[in-house]
Structure 1
Amino acid sequence: MLSLTSTQISMLIGSLWWPFCRIMGAFMIMPLLGNAYVPVTVRILLSLSIAVLISHLIPSVPPVDALSLSAVYLAIEQLLIGVMLGFILYLLLHVMTLLGTIMSMQMGLAIAIMNDPATGDANPILSQWFLLFGTLIFLALDGHLVAIGVLVDSFRLWPIGSDLFSLPLLGFVHRVGWLFAAALMLALPAVLAMLMVNITFGVLSRSAPSLNIFSLGFPMTMLMGLLCVLLSLSGVPERYSDLCLEALAFMYQFIGGAV
């Protein structure tokens, strides 16, 4: 008759429960899978399926009683690691949202706001369009598959039971600054073009005060902004692809991988 001790039962449960917590934490915030359009049941079943498939690849888990406070702390720790890994990709896609916001403010489309039912946020329409554009680029690069692969490798590079505070948390905080820098880099050509248009209409208003600048300047600014958006379609994808690779590389390095 097969007999198992409580420690063995706890380790068997832990070999499935701890990976599930880390994967579920990433899927809670990761783009696409973390979207409100994806039901919670689907995310739970997908996380559980991946945890079952990789359970034999995970190094030995620490012998922790499943009903102790240590098990609760370990579960929260794995959940936070998954959330941080997913948040890196969350910042990546919101580079395009910030890009659309900057361009909308420059061309006068910031008042054209659409409520996003997925997040509950109110973003300019141009931001929603750029977000969709960036999502398609990310999927075309198979970034979602690479992200899941990095998440699976995290159990080998950063085994369950490793200290959470030993992760490069300072570099993780710097990714917020990277978000603004990347969005500004993509929007800089359009911002400079719109600045030249505004300077031109400023000089025109001084040289011809009788000319109604507001009735002429707004449509011209709008046309110039739409032209900048059109020209961005040829340059943004290549640069955004580099940003995707940079974000995935940092995601791998964050858990101790070497690129």
Structure 2
Amino acid sequence: MTELIPKISILLLIFVRVSAFFVSVPLFSYRTIPPQMRIAFAFVLSWMMYYTFSIEPIPFDGNYILLVLKEAIIGLMLGLTAYIIISAVQIAGGFIDFQMGFALANIVDPQTGAQSPLMGQFFNFLALLTLLAINGHHLLLDGIFYSYQFMPMEQFFPNFGSEETVDFIMKMFVAVFAVAFQMSAPIVATLFLVTIALGITGKTVPQMNIFVIGFPIKIAVGFLVLIVTMAVMVEVMQSLIEMMIVQLRNLMVILGGA
């Protein structure tokens, strides 16, 4: 530990980026994980990464404060990018809940503490299990480690406000909503046809209470289509996780000015 004292400023900068990344990235930012455990894990990972860098000590002055702010912003941007991409599964679940009639029955999301739809929460847990199954959490840790190759620690001004960054963010939001719509399209389209059939039945047989029998029919049909398309959903989630890793690399390339 004595070799850490001369370069304690380097270790602190690494810890700031890693801890900011853990605050917002999926899986590691869950509120069910104790903060003490996250801080300890971030410090241990920063301590391991410290021995892979050969950088001269940075003095504690005004420029060091700017570097700390820069490291925190980079860590938050990388984590938020991963979270926004993986949130496509929750958006798809919201589309499905609106058609199945679960829009009023929300539960608490353990990651954000906010209300989230039932199917969206189910898809979110399924996506996290898929992330663990394909070792995506290892790729996330690799991403924060190799981010120093694209955005060096001593670089003061990454390309936060460049045109490439704005264009990347816009395309990322479009891709997230496109993936969410594609995931929910089979169930939403099927339930739309069921709604049309129920409407025709209600006009044909006015004595039948369509409002009462329509809910269980739509829920049963929705779950049936979900079971049939579950394998496809998992493949889409795997592709979404791969897209998340690729987009993290693209963001680091843009911010690093490569």
Global fold match (TM > 0.5)? yes
Matched, 1:211 2:187: no
User: Which residue of the partner structure matches residue 196 of structure 1?
Assistant: 193
8 Å contact kept, 1:31–1:89:
yes
Q: Distance in 2 between matches of 1:59 and 1:186?
A: 46
Question: 1:142 offset after TM fit, Å?
Answer: 0.5
8 Å contact kept, 1:96–1:130:
yes
Structure 1 residue matching 2:107: 3-state secondary structure? strand
User: Which residue of the partner structure matches residue 229 of structure 1?
Assistant: 226
8 Å contact kept, 1:107–1:194:
yes
CA RMSD of aligned residues (A): 2.0
Partner of residue 240 from structure 1, selected from 230, 237, 246: 237
- Give 1:21-32 correspondences, 5 Å limit: 21-32=16-27
TM-score (norm 2): 0.88
User: Which residue of the partner structure matches residue 76 of structure 2?
Assistant: 83
Q: Distance in 2 between matches of 1:54 and 1:117?
A: 30
Matched, 1:98 2:95: no
Partner of residue 33 from structure 1, selected from 28, 31, 34: 28
Partner of residue 113 from structure 1, selected from 106, 113, 123: 106
Structure 1, gaps ≥5 residues long? 1-7
Structure 1 residue matching 2:116: 3-state secondary structure? strand
8 Å contact kept, 2:86–2:244:
no
TM-score (norm 1): 0.87
8 Å contact kept, 1:58–1:156:
no
Number of residues paired by the alignment? Answer: 246
Q: Distance in 2 between matches of 1:40 and 1:101?
A: 29
Partner of residue 147 from structure 2, selected from 154, 157, 175: 154
Matched, 1:164 2:158: yes
Q: Distance in 2 between matches of 1:212 and 1:77?
A: 61
Matched, 1:51 2:51: no
User: Which residue of the partner structure matches residue 3 of structure 1?
Assistant: none
Structure 2, gaps ≥5 residues long? none
Worse overlay, 133-142 or 93-102: 93-102
Q: Distance in 2 between matches of 1:246 and 1:101?
A: 21
Q: Distance in 1 between matches of 2:181 and 2:127?
A: 15
Structure 1 residue matching 2:253: 3-state secondary structure? coil
Q: Distance in 1 between matches of 2:95 and 2:225?
A: 12
- Dislocated runs of 4+, deviation >6 Å: none
